[in-house]
């Protein structure tokens, strides 16, 4: 029994690292999102044993975080706080306007920065380039629409701001690992 307490103590120690932000590579982000989706699904279903399943997904999530911290140097830079302050309103703007045409140049102009400087601070703060972040937001919203709505793939593509269905399909597959149609079928099967 004390072995379990040691393991739990080690997982809880994640919250004593001094860093509140972990920037995971896209592969780990996708794994984490899948775990979070499974956790929500278990709670919503309330099937027999859902609490135990939820706990097992939570432990997996904490282990991914723990391994990431052990394998990577997490540094806390005092200048990061300043950069986050500059980037936070830009991230909020993107999150609110992702469905509209957005360009780096227009955003830089809106926030009185050069495109080069915006690229630099955005990447330092979020771990993504502007294009990667915008694509992530659009694909996440598309995933929600594919799971919850009866909208066609073309309609979903338009609603989340992609210029064409082919671009949508390519970017969606890069991020999700499957096409929008396969994602819809996979999640519909998982929810039944």
CATH code of residue 150: 1.10.10.60
Query: Is the pLDDT at 122 greater than 70, yes or no?
Result: yes
From 45, 71, 97, the end of a domain falls on 71
48 and 118, same domain (yes or no): no
- Determine the pLDDT at residue 1: 44
Four-CA torsion 169, 170, 176, 182, nearest 10 degrees: 40
36 and 122, same domain (yes or no): no
- Determine the pLDDT at residue 159: 95
Q: Give 159 or 34, the one with higher predicted confidence.
A: 159
CA distance 117 to 26: 23
108 and 173, same domain (yes or no): yes
What does the pLDDT average to over 66-80?
A: 63
Domain total for the chain? 2
129 and 164, same domain (yes or no): yes
- Determine the pLDDT at residue 134: 93
- Residue span of the structural domain in which 17 resides: 2-71
Q: What is the pTM of this model?
A: 0.62
- Determine the pLDDT at residue 28: 76
Query: Is the pLDDT at 163 greater than 90, yes or no?
Result: no
CB neighbour class for 186 (10 Å; exposed up to 12, middle 13-18, buried from 19): middle
- Determine the pLDDT at residue 75: 53
Query: Is the pLDDT at 65 greater than 50, yes or no?
Result: yes
**pLDDT confidence band for 100 (50 / 70 / 90):** very high
Mean pLDDT over the full length of the chain: 81
């Amino acid at each position: 029994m004390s072995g379990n307490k040691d393991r739990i103590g080690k997982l809880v120690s994640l919250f004593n690292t001094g860093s509140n932000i972990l920037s995971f590579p896209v592969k780990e982000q996708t794994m984490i999102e899948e775990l979070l989706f499974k956790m929500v699904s278990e709670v919503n279903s309330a099937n027999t044993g859902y609490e135990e399943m939820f706990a097992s997904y939570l432990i997996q999530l904490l282990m991914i975080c723990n391994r990431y911290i052990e394998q990577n140097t997490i540094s806390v830079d005092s200048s990061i706080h300043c950069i986050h302050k500059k980037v936070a309103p830009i991230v909020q703007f993107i999150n609110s306007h992702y469905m509209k045409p957005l360009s780096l140049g227009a955003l830089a102009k809106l926030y009185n920065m050069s495109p080069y400087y915006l690229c630099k601070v955005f990447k330092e703060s979020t771990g993504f380039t502007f294009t990667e972040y915008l694509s992530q937001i659009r694909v996440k919203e598309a995933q929600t629409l594919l799971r919850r709505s009866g909208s066609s793939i073309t309609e979903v593509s338009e609603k989340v701001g992609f210029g064409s269905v082919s671009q949508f399909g390519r970017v969606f597959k890069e991020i999700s690992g499957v096409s929008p149609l396969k994602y819809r079928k996979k999640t519909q099967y998982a929810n039944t």
